[in-house]
């Protein structure tokens, strides 16, 4: 792929960087009266109620995070299992009354609690569910019926005949309604949508593994075909990823013709805005022709050169059995609003890092590297580290107390200063873009979101806290140089002891 082709992502990344100066020179005021609704509602659609007696998984969280089901494992999927997966991914888990407003919180973390991601399900072979295309509604745990028929063949055709889709029992399509996140984050929201999709995927993949259902994430597909079937425009609402769920030996039946979908949805705000830089970025990263999909789908990339030195730290980890059950973790998860400036143990940190390191089952290669600022971990020196995802080892980059720097880098939020460790997912974006074109931009952010989402789950399963954080881009790279030269921070996750919930 030529350089012209990846210029869009390069430019977008550059102009959406945060710096000490940019956040002061370009303030943004939130228009609360125009805050978008976090749910997509089809008032005219017939919908099916999903089972409410969920009985969530009792698999230990760490086991669910580290296991996956082979792609050809052919067990049936029941509606109840599909519902548990959808609930663990994006379910409504908590309400909080603040003044006159009722805030809804979901199973996975979402920057600003804006929930830009929508989930659709093309069910081909789900016991108890009519074959068809549905939209998942977390608010009332229902699915709105959008189209009858088996759409697996149609989706597989759009995704370079990906075997996992051709044989899937259900295919999940995830999109983003950008305005929800743009309302607060403006054009930079494009990055947030991929992070948020990533945290949902972290939960979804863990829940699927706990149900013994195979799951593969796919981002190489023709956008126009997916937009047409979902009835979305690719500008206001764009595709993010597919997930092939389960396996059947039954070949896909021919899909019906894809007629235009004309179903009304409730407006999200009185005045929806579009940020042209985001619109351009998504337009340039869409895959349109069969050749483009095939090229991205077959793209090869050299594996990340890990550079652990001989004296890298290999630490003991905690066994899966000692972690909370997945269902409990999902219900307990939240984002820590303040940390206690206390230490977690080095063993806990090593366990969380290991759980957040495995590359997910996906059609794109590993694109991210992990760095950390350790503020306080019993059994480890405070300092800056590179974490080798393959060797599961910590390489010290500089020794010292960097609480002040950690607090500064995450946009001067006390959470970075007070946490036990600040995890920074980074990527050499040139490497990603050269291999995957502009599409690699979303892939790298999605991967960071998945790894960050897993760090959340692992932390909560051990009784510790976590929160996603945003950051000053170039200052973060500088802090980790020379090791991180040429790499861009994609997401931060702070780990620690929540101030109000200290573990005895
Ligand atoms: C990608 C990402 C970035 C986030 N950035 C911040 C942040 O900069 N500051 C903060 O206080 N919380 C941040 N959060 C936490 C969200 O505000 C939180 O997930 C949201 O309010 C929903 O609450 P919950 O996680 O407790 O369910 C972030 C979360 C994600 C997933």
Query: Atom of ligand 1 at shortest distance to CA of 199?
Result: 31
Nearest residue (by CA) to ligand 1, atom 7, is 469
Asked if the domains at 43-252+261-297 and 320-496 fall in one CATH topology, the answer is: yes
Query: Atom of ligand 1 at shortest distance to CA of 491?
Result: 1
Distance, C-alpha 501 to centroid of its chain: 26
> Which pLDDT does position 305 carry in this prediction?
65
Give me 93's structure tokens. 């888990």
Nearest residue (by CA) to ligand 1, atom 9, is 469
- The whole-chain average pLDDT of the chain stands at 95
pLDDT band of 1, cuts 50, 70, 90: very low
**How many CB atoms are located within 10 Å of the residue 68 CB?**
18
**Ligand 1 centre distance from Cα of residue 490 (Å):** 14
pLDDT of 504 strictly over 50 = no
Nearest residue (by CA) to ligand 1, atom 27, is 334
> Which pLDDT does position 98 carry in this prediction?
82
pLDDT of 5 strictly over 60 = yes
Nearest residue (by CA) to ligand 1, atom 17, is 112
pLDDT band of 4, cuts 50, 70, 90: low
Nearest residue (by CA) to ligand 1, atom 5, is 469
- Contact between 361 and 447 (Cβ < 8 Å): no
Count CA atoms within 13 Å of residue 487 on its CB side: 26
Q: In terms of Cα–Cα distance, which of 203, 455, 192, 499 is closest to 336?
A: 499
- Mean pLDDT across the stretch 392-407? 97
**Ligand 1 centre distance from Cα of residue 137 (Å):** 22
Q: In terms of Cα–Cα distance, which of 193, 174, 206 is closest to 457?
A: 206
Classify residue 64 as left (phi > 0), alpha (psi -120 to 50) or beta. alpha
**Ligand 1 centre distance from Cα of residue 448 (Å):** 14
- Contact between 48 and 83 (Cβ < 8 Å): no
Which DSSP string corresponds to 347-375? HHHHHHHHHTTSPPSBSS---EEEEEEES
Distance, C-alpha 368 to centroid of its chain: 13
- Mean pLDDT across the stretch 445-454? 98
Characterize the bridge pairing of strands 47-49 and 142-148: antiparallel
Q: Is the CB of 232 under 6 A from ligand 1?
A: no
pLDDT of 192 strictly over 80 = yes
**Ligand 1 centre distance from Cα of residue 53 (Å):** 29
- Mean pLDDT across the stretch 348-363? 97
| Residue of 88, 90, 335 best suited for mutating to test ligand 1, as the one with most atoms within 8 Å of CB | 335
Residue 394 forms beta bridges with which residues? 313, 387
Q: Is the CB of 468 under 6 A from ligand 1?
A: yes
- Which residue has better confidence, 210 or 310? 210
> Which pLDDT does position 143 carry in this prediction?
98
Say which CATH superfamily domain 43-252+261-297 falls into: NADH Oxidase (3.40.109.10)
**Ligand 1 centre distance from Cα of residue 480 (Å):** 24
- Contact between 126 and 170 (Cβ < 8 Å): yes
Domain ranges of the chain: 43-252+261-297, 320-496
- Contact between 178 and 191 (Cβ < 8 Å): no
> Which pLDDT does position 53 carry in this prediction?
87
pLDDT band of 3, cuts 50, 70, 90: very low
Could you read off the pLDDT of 311-335 as tens digits, one per residue? 799 999 999 999 999 999 999 999 9
d(CA 425, CA 120): 28
- Mean pLDDT across the stretch 52-62? 93
d(CA 136, CA 86): 8
320-496: CATH class: alpha beta
Rg (CA), the chain: 21
d(CA 121, CA 136): 7
- Please report where in the chains the tokens 């997930």 appear, as a residue: 243
Share of the chain above pLDDT 90, in %: 90
Could you read off the pLDDT of 291-307 as tens digits, one per residue? 999 999 999 887 766 66
**How many CB atoms are located within 10 Å of the residue 391 CB?**
13
- Mean pLDDT across the stretch 169-197? 98
Q: Is the CB of 413 under 6 A from ligand 1?
A: yes
Looking at residue 256, the DSSP 8-state letter turns out to be P
Share of the chain above pLDDT 70, in %: 97
Backbone angles phi, psi at 281, to 5 degrees: -60, -45
| Residue of 469, 473, 490, 495 best suited for mutating to test ligand 1, as the one with most atoms within 8 Å of CB | 469
Could you read off the pLDDT of 241-257 as tens digits, one per residue? 999 999 999 888 899 99
Count CA atoms within 13 Å of residue 259 on its CB side: 7
d(CA 67, CA 75): 17
């Amino acid at each position: 792929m030529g350089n012209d082709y990846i210029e869009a992502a390069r430019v977008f990344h550059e102009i959406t960087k945060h710096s000490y100066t940019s956040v002061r020179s370009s303030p943004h005021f939130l228009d609360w009266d125009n805050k978008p609704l976090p749910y997509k509602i089809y008032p005219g659609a017939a919908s099916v109620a999903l089972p409410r007696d969920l009985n969530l998984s009792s698999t230990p969280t760490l086991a669910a995070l580290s296991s996956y089901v082979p792609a050809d494992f052919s067990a049936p999927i029941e509606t109840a299992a599909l519902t548990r997966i959808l609930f663990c991914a994006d379910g409504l888990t908590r309400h909080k009354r603040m003044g006159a407003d009722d805030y809804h919180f979901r199973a996975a973390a979402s920057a600003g609690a804006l929930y830009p991601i929508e989930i659709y399900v093309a069910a081909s072979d789900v016991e108890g569910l009519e074959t068809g295309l549905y939209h998942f509604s977390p608010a009332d745990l229902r699915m709105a019926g959008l189209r009858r028929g088996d759409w697996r063949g149609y989706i597989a055709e759009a995704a370079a005949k990906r075997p996992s889709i051709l044989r899937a029992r259900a295919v999940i399509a995830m999109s983003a309604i950008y305005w929800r996140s743009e309302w607060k984050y403006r054009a930079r929201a494009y990055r947030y949508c991929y992070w948020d999709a990533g945290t949902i995927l972290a939960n979804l993949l863990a829940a699927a593994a706990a149900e013994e259902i195979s799951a593969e994430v796919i981002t190489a597909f023709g956008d126009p075909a997916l937009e047409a079937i979902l009835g979305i425009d690719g500008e206001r609402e764009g595709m993010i990823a597919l997930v092939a769920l389960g396996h059947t030996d039954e070949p896909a039946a021919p899909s019906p013709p894809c007629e235009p979908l004309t179903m009304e949805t409730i407006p999200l705000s009185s005045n929806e805005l579009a940020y042209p830089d985001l619109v351009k970025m998504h337009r340039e990263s869409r895959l349109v022709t069969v050749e483009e999909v095939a090229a991205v789908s077959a793209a090869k990339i050299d594996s990340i050169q890990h550079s652990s030195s001989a004296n890298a730290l290999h630490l003991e980890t905690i066994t899966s059995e000692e972690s909370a059950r997945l269902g409990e973790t999902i219900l307990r998860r939240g984002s820590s609003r303040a940390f206690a400036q206390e230490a977690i143990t080095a063993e806990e940190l090593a366990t969380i890092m290991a759980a957040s390191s495995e590359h997910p089952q996906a059609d794109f290669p590993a694109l991210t590297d992990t760095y950390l600022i350790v503020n306080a971990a019993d059994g480890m020196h405070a300092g800056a580290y590179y974490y080798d995802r393959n060797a599961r080892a910590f390489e010290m980059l500089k020794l010292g107390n960097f609480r002040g720097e950690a607090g500064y880098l995450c946009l001067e939020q006390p959470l970075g200063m007070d946490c036990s460790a600040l995890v920074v997912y980074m990527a050499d974006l040139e490497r990603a873009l050269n291999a995957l074109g502009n599409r690699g931009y979303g892939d790298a952010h999605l991967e960071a979101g998945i790894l960050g989402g897993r760090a959340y789950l692992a932390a909560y399963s051990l009784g510790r806290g976590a929160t996603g954080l945003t950051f000053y881009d170039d200052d973060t790279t500088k802090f980790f140089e020379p090791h991180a030269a040429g790499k861009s921070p994609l997401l931060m996750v702070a780990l620690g002891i929540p101030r109000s919930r200290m573990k005895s």
